[in-house]
């Protein structure tokens, strides 16, 4: 079984560019339509998430998961690893930012880091 690895937005962008990782955004279609990492695809986290991923990707495909702030993508990455996917990374801080207990930004996400985006 693989071990979960969480990486920064800049590291995620580098993995996509240099190593061919596919960014799977697990936010809702509405959130995805508002803005997303350039080149990402949308597979919302829900009851059919793992079967949808199994239909799209081989178990050893290089997959990077992200969301808005890092919570949903963490659950998604763990679900994929539990289902036997072996090359999964989780992008910390999501598209917007990771936040602390009082709503303060603790780590900028993809958009706040100024990384390439596609708009709705």
Residue 93's domain spans which residues? 5-113
Average pLDDT of the segment spanning 69-91 = 97
Domain count for the chain, please give it: 1
Q: Does residue 120 form part of some domain?
A: no
Q: Does residue 24 form part of some domain?
A: yes
**Annotated catalytic, 67?**
yes
**DSSP reduced 3-state for 42:** strand
- Find out whether 70 and 91 touch, Cβ atoms under 8 Å: yes
* Cα 64 to Cα 18: distance, rounded to the nearest angstrom: 13
Average pLDDT of the segment spanning 91-109 = 96
* Cα 120 to Cα 116: distance, rounded to the nearest angstrom: 14
Which CATH number belongs to the domain containing residue 62 in this structure? 3.40.250.10
Query: pTM value?
Result: 0.95
Average pLDDT of the segment spanning 16-25 = 97
29-62 pLDDT, tens digit each? 999 999 999 999 999 999 999 999 999 999 999 9
* Cα 13 to Cα 30: distance, rounded to the nearest angstrom: 23
- Find out whether 21 and 77 touch, Cβ atoms under 8 Å: no
Catalytic residue among 16, 24, 50, 67, which? 67
Which pLDDT score, from 0 to 100, does residue 120 have?
65
Nearest C-alpha neighbor of 109 from the set 9, 1, 3: 9
């Amino acid at each position: 079984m693989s071990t979960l690895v969480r990486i920064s937005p800049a590291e995620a962008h580098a993995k996509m560019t240099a190593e061919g990782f596919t960014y799977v955004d697990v936010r809702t279609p509405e959130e995805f339509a508002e803005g997303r990492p350039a080149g990402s695809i949308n597979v919302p986290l829900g009851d059919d998430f793992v079967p949808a991923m199994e239909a799209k990707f081989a178990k050893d495909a290089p997959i990077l998961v992200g969301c808005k702030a890092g919570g949903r993508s963490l659950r998604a990455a763990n679900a994929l690893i539990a289902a036997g996917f072996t090359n999964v990374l989780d992008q910390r801080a999501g598209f917007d930012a990771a936040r602390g207990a009082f709503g303060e930004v603790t780590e900028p996400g993809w958009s706040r880091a100024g990384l390439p985006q596609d708009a709705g």
